[in-house]
A and B are shown apart, each in its own frame.
Chain A
Amino acid sequence: MIDIVLLTLLLAVAIAIIRMKDLFAVVMLSGIYGLLSASFFVAMDAVDVAFTEAAVGAGISTLLMLVVITMTGRSENTTRHKPFPALLLVVITGCLLIYGTLDMPYFGSADAPVHSHVAPRYINDSMQEIGIPNIVTSILASYRAFDTFGELVVIFTAGIGVLALLSSVRRPDNGDKIVCINYSMHEQHLVVRIVTKMLLPFILLFALYVQFHGDFGPGGGFQAGVIFAAAIILYAMLFGLSTARIVINQPFIQLISATGVLLYGCVGLVSLLNGGNFFDYNFLSNDAITGQHLGIFLIEWAVGCTVASVIIIIFFNFADYRERQQSNENEHNQESP
Chain B
Amino acid sequence: MIAHLPVLQVIVPLMAAPICLILKRAQLAWLFSLLVSSLTLLISILLLQQVMTSGVVSYELGGWQAPWGIEYRIDKLNAFLLLIISAISTIVLFAAQTSIEKEIDKNKHTLFYVLYLLSLTGMLGIVATGDAFNVFVFLEIASLSTYALIAMGEDRRALWASYQYLVMGTIGATFILIGVGLMYQMTGTLNMQDLSQRLPEVAQTRTVFTAFAFVIVGVCLKLALFPLHHWLPNAYAYAPSIVTAFFAATATKVAMYLLIRLTFSVFGLSFSFTTIPLQTLFMALGLFGIFVASTSAIYQNNIKHLFAYSSIAQIGYMIVGFSISTVTGLTATLLHVFNHALMKCAIFLALAAVVYRLGDVQLNNFHGLGRQMPLTMAAIVVGGLSLIGMPLTVGFVSKWYLLTALLEQGWWPVAVLILFAAILAVIYVWRIIEVAYFKEPLVNQAAVKEAPMLFLVPIWALTIANIYFGIDTRLSVQVAQAAAQSLFGVTP
Contacts and interface: CB of A to CB of B under 8 A. Distances in A.
Interface stretch (A51-59, A215-223, A257-265, A329-337): A257-265
Contacts of B137: 147, 150-151, 154
A117 B107 contact: no
B182 interface: yes
A281 B63 CA distance: 9
A248 to B, nearest CB: 17
Given A147-B134, A157-B115, A277 B62 contact: yes
Given A103-B206, A164-B112, A277 B63 contact: yes
B213 interface: yes
Given A105-B185, A156-B18, A160-B148, A99 B111 contact: no
A214 interface: no
B143 to A, nearest CB: 9
B15 A144 contact: no
Interface string A272-286: 100011111111000
Interface stretch (A26-34, A36-44, A118-126, A203-211): A118-126
B272 interface: no
Contact of B59 (A142, A144, A277): A277
A199 interface: no
A189 interface: no
Interface string A41-71: 0000000000000000000000000000000
Given A116-B188, A117-B189, A277 B60 contact: yes
Contacts of B59: 277-278
Interface residues of B, number: 63
A114 B22 CA distance: 43
Interface stretch (B67-75, B398-406, B482-490): B67-75
Interface in A93-125: 96-97, 99-105, 112-119, 121-122
Interface in B1-24: 4, 7, 11, 14-15, 17-19, 21-22
A146 interface: yes
A201 interface: no
Interface string A242-262: 000000000000110111011
A165 interface: yes
Contact of A153 (B118, B184, B213): B118
Given A153-B14, A161-B145, A164-B111, A118 B68 contact: yes
B117 to A, nearest CB: 10
Interface in B147-193: 147-148, 151-152, 178, 182, 184-190
Interface string B400-441: 000000000000000000000000000000000000000000
A161 to B, nearest CB: 3
B63 A282 contact: yes
Given A143-B69, A161-B147, A100 B111 contact: no
Interface of B: 4, 7, 11, 14-15, 17-19, 21-22, 59-64, 67-70, 105, 107-108, 111-112, 114-115, 118, 121, 125, 131, 133-134, 137-138, 140-141, 144-145, 147-148, 151-152, 178, 182, 184-190, 198, 202, 205-211, 213-214
Given A113-B186, A269-B11, 16 more contacts: A104-B185, A104-B186, A113-B198, A143-B69, A150-B138, A150-B140, A157-B115, A160-B148, A164-B151, A165-B148, A258-B18, A261-B18, A262-B15, A265-B11, A278-B59, A278-B62
11 contacts: A103-B208, A104-B207, A147-B70, A150-B125, A150-B138, A161-B115, A258-B19, A262-B19, A265-B11, A277-B61, A279-B63
